[in-house]
Chains A and B, each alone.
Chain A
Amino acid sequence: GAGVSQSPSNKVTEKGKDVELRCDPISGHTALYWYRQSLGQGLEFLIYFQGNSAPDKSGLPSDRFSAERTGGSVSTLTIQRTQQEDSAVYLCASSPLSGGNTEAFFGQGTRLTVV
Chain B
Amino acid sequence: AQKITQTQPGMFVQEKEAVTLDCTYDTSDPSYGLFWYKQPSSGEMIFLIYQGSYDQQNATEGRYSLNFQKARKSANLVISASQLGDSAMYFCAMREWTGTASKLTFGTGTRLQVTL
Interfacial residues, chain A to chain B (CB-CB below 8 A): 31, 33, 35, 41-43, 45, 48, 50, 55-56, 89, 91, 93, 95, 98-101, 103-106, 108-109
Contact A101 B103 (CB under 8 A): no
A43 and B104 CA atoms in complex are apart in Å by 10
Contact A109 B43 (CB under 8 A): yes
Interface of A is mostly: strand
Interfacial residues, chain B to chain A (CB-CB below 8 A): 31, 33, 35, 37, 43-45, 47, 50, 52, 91, 95, 97, 100-109
- Neighbouring B residues of A93 by C-beta, 8 Å: 45, 104
**A-B interface, 6 closest residue pairs, ranked by CB to CB distance from nearest:** A98-B102, A106-B45, A55-B101, A42-B108, A43-B106, A103-B47
Q: How far is the CB of B34 from chain A (nearest CB, A)?
A: 10
- Neighbouring A residues of B95 by C-beta, 8 Å: 99
Contact A56 B43 (CB under 8 A): no
